[in-house]
Structure 1
Amino acid sequence: MDATIRNTGDEVWAITGASGRIGTVLRQAMLPEVAHLVLIDVVPPQQLDARERAPHAELGDPASLRAALQGVDGVVHLAAVPDEADFHDLVEANVIGTYHLLEAARQAGVRRVLLASTGRVIGMYDVGERVDVTKPTRPDGLYAVTKTTVEQLGRLYAEKFGLEVVALRIGAFKARPAEARDLSIWVSHADAARAFLAAMRHEPITFETMFAYSDNRDGSVDLEAGRRLGFEPLDDAAVHREEIPGRPGPVTSGPMGGDLASPEFTLSKQRPF
């Protein structure tokens, strides 16, 4: 796919989960690229720029989402329960919430939606097995199951309803790698911003899946799908190895999800039934 970059300077973009860790980074990176940003979060965003607005809207209230997205060209959908939790809570926020977002975007005439997925949708693959976006998902927990469903909702809305959708499988989003697993799965703040900006700018798009990881020397995922969309990661976790306590080498055995792939990690989060 040839990477054609469109001019977005007169567009309006929205970010759900705009007050979160990733949303805060993307807000700073995206504001210079567009005419206006619409910031959506149950935690009101602070220190609004003159080109930002923060309407009251929630994933559980489709009408408020539809109103907030009027006049919006592109949406970055980050709002979610971001880690393992009770399955019912995960489905309510991540699956039903994403359905509300996509349907509100369709009704509001939004052109493109970027869906935040996770590298944990492949967390049961063995470390060292090279995985690209064509491989079947193998989620390492119920959180990752809901993100697999999020990806498929995006595909449906692209292929059936005509939205342009990119699902970005985000790696370990940290300012610096902090443990051995990060040597393979880290994504720097700057590379995460590059990934989302590339996915929003690229033409043409129907439905695409990509890994939003840094270009880690010890990485276990194929970044080519992102490069086809214009994403060129510049950072490498190996550069920071000496800063990690114990100066570990990369993990060489077990599931990619590490301890997150254990039965106890998921079962301990579930309500009794």
Structure 2
Amino acid sequence: MVKFFRLLYLVSLATTPAFAGMLEAPVENGDGDPLAIEFDFQGAYVGEGDVERGSRAINNFEEWNFLGRLLILPRTKIGILRLGAEYEIYDFDISEGAQVPDKLQSAAVIVGLDTKFSDSFLIRLEAKPGFYFADDLEGEDFNVPFIIGGTYLYSSTLQFVFGVGVDLEGQYPILPGGGVRWKFAPQWVLNATLPTPRLEYEFNRNLTIYAGAELRSKSFRVDDDFVGDASEPGNLNNAILSYTEVRTGAGLVWKLGDACKLSVEGGYLPYRQFDYHRADIRYKSEGGAPYGSISLHAAF
């Protein structure tokens, strides 16, 4: 089981929500809205859980996770530009002095392009230059992860997504990702696209029920004065930390009109890892934890 989650961890490093979103971003040459705006808010709570490293352990800590994203999508001759900003925070109920920080944050701008080689072959380029930090934002926290991906529209019921994710601060700087989306029955869709593979059932035109998983992974730089455990021979001050978690659960997506969707989800978090890969220090989950999340997507 540990090897299985390790494989999911490696795959998740290369995947972002931008991969899955490519299925919803066709580029057309016809008359369309010259400017669109998208807004996303996500919030999640993870109940008490534990992580350990050998005889060391951090027990009974909770997690709050929030993300806000704003995108402006002007239509141009070469495609649809993706311009915006994103902020995310993981807030852990962890006491000071541990080798794991109590906060991990990112504040980035989004610069990207959706274009196409043909009516069946869509391309997405997207970079997120910004600051990936713990508590204190400093210049050395700057990083530019990006993805290069494509979608092949084989038919109206079958699409393939593929690409690579690049993060020069990650343990594996370049990794492949992708998946497949298959509508195999009138109301059923197998959306096996990382980082959110799931099985969907369209209950009616306004309500979709699903079950699946979400793989999350991102690299951060901890603070200059992050001491951790002073008895360690390695110094974790200013170290790169990759945080990964796997969520498994079920939920529903409710359309609140043509421009807005509300999602509610609950389930179990079976795996998480705090990995200082350059220092060879990592904390892995000991058991799992329940979670609940809510998200809002609006497009105008």
Kindly indicate which of the two structures has a greater share of residues assigned to strand: 2
Same fold (TM over 0.5): no
Report the TM-score when normalising by structure 2: 0.29
- For the pair shown, the structure with the greater C-alpha radius of gyration is 2
